[in-house]
Amino acid sequence: MSAVPKPLPQITPEMAPFWEAARRHELMVQRCRGCGTRRFPARELCSRCLSRDAGWERVSGHGQVFSFAIMHQVYHPAFADAVPYAIVVVELEEGARVLSNLVDCPTADVAIGLPVEVVFEDVAPDVTLPKFRPRRAAA
Ligand SMILES: [Zn+2]
């Protein structure tokens, strides 16, 4: 364990529904009410149809690695024990792309197209981080 606590995400008003859902261990993304496009992070304007009308929708948490980076450099002392670790952009089955960490996976096995599923890490009493792990094959 590291002696220095990891920094917690800043919870903006726009992203509050996402973090509230994460505390319930649910993954939610914003969905445009104009054209149905799902997006992450939350934005005021739909980049596809320019509608400002949007809501939040629960998604499966299933997707695949769209792109990734393996972090070797320690940019914050709290992550000294964590390197190397994988930062991934996950393309959800429903269409939005979410930036997160990939866990339970050797960094050598991280690959574009890897099927993943969401997992939830309770890091503080009121903060839960959605992360992803390789999806286990259905038995
Ligand atoms: Zn739209």
Collapse the DSSP code of 7 into the 3-class scheme (helix H, G, I; strand E, B; otherwise coil) and give the result: coil
18-36: buried (b, 16+ CB within 10 Å) or exposed (e) per residue?
Answer: bbebbeeebbbbbbbeeee
The Cα 12–Cα 28 span in angstroms is 15
Confidence label for 139 from pLDDT (cuts 50, 70 and 90): low
Whole-number pLDDT of residue 25: 98
Q: Between β-strands 85-92 and 127-134, what pairing exists: parallel, antiparallel or unpaired?
A: unpaired
Surrounding ion ligand 1 within 5 Å at CB are 32, 34-35, 37, 46, 48-49, 51
- pTM comes to 0.91
The CA 26 to ligand 1 mean position distance, Å, reads 23
Q: Where are the beta strands (DSSP E) in the chain?
A: 28-32, 38-39, 54-58, 62-71, 85-92, 97-102, 115-124, 127-134
Ordered by start, the domain boundaries in the chain are: 16-134
DSSP code of residue 69: E
The Cα 109–Cα 99 span in angstroms is 18
The CA 56 to ligand 1 mean position distance, Å, reads 13
**Record: fold of 16-134:** OB fold (Dihydrolipoamide Acetyltransferase, E2P) (2.40.50)
Whole-number pLDDT of residue 4: 84
Whole-number pLDDT of residue 69: 96
- Which of 96, 94, 99 has the alpha carbon at shortest distance from 9? 99
pLDDT in tens, 78-129: 988 889 999 999 999 999 999 999 999 999 999 999 999 999 999 999 999 9
The CA 122 to ligand 1 mean position distance, Å, reads 32
